[in-house]
Amino acid sequence: MKTNTIKWMIAALFIVLIPPAVNADLSIVGNYEYGEKIATKAYGRGCLGCHAITKFQGSNSTEMMERLLASWHISSFTDEDLRDLSVYLSTKANQE
């Protein structure tokens, strides 16, 4: 009886102390218009001209930022540029 009570108390503590997972879309905040200028200046609407914009359909700005950060294409961009570019690419890709 005592072990069951202890197990229930431990389970209750875990439920109370561990917050539930939240499925929130943690979007990157950036300037769409400036992202468009960067993409146009970088030779195209896709990932700096290497891929069609449709390759990124279904990606949100957070996923785009992860893809951009893994790319060698970004060496000359600032963090602000990358945020703007990720917002532009994700928005544009999901409009088409």
Q: How many domains does the chain have?
A: 1
User: Any residues with CB less than 8 A from the CB of 84 and at least 6 apart, and which?
Assistant: 30, 31, 32, 34, 35, 38
4 domain-assigned? no
Whether residue 26 is contained in a domain is answered as no
Task: Answer whether residue 55 is part of any domain.
Answer: yes
Cβ distance 25 to 59 under 8 Å? no
- Judge whether 37 lies within some domain: yes
Residue 44: inside a domain: yes
- For residue 42, the model assigns a pLDDT of 77
How many of the other CB atoms lie within 10 Å of CB of 58? 10
Domain membership of residue 58 as a residue range: 32-95
Residue 9 within any structural domain of the chain = no
Give domain status of residue 49, yes or no: yes
Examine residue 84 and state whether it is found in any structural domain, yes or no.
yes
C-beta separation of 85 from 38 below 8 A: yes
Q: Give 30-87 pLDDT, tens digit per residue.
A: 888 998 888 888 776 667 777 888 888 888 888 888 888 888 777 778 888 888 888 8
pLDDT at 40: 83
pLDDT in tens, 8-27: 666 655 565 565 444 344 57
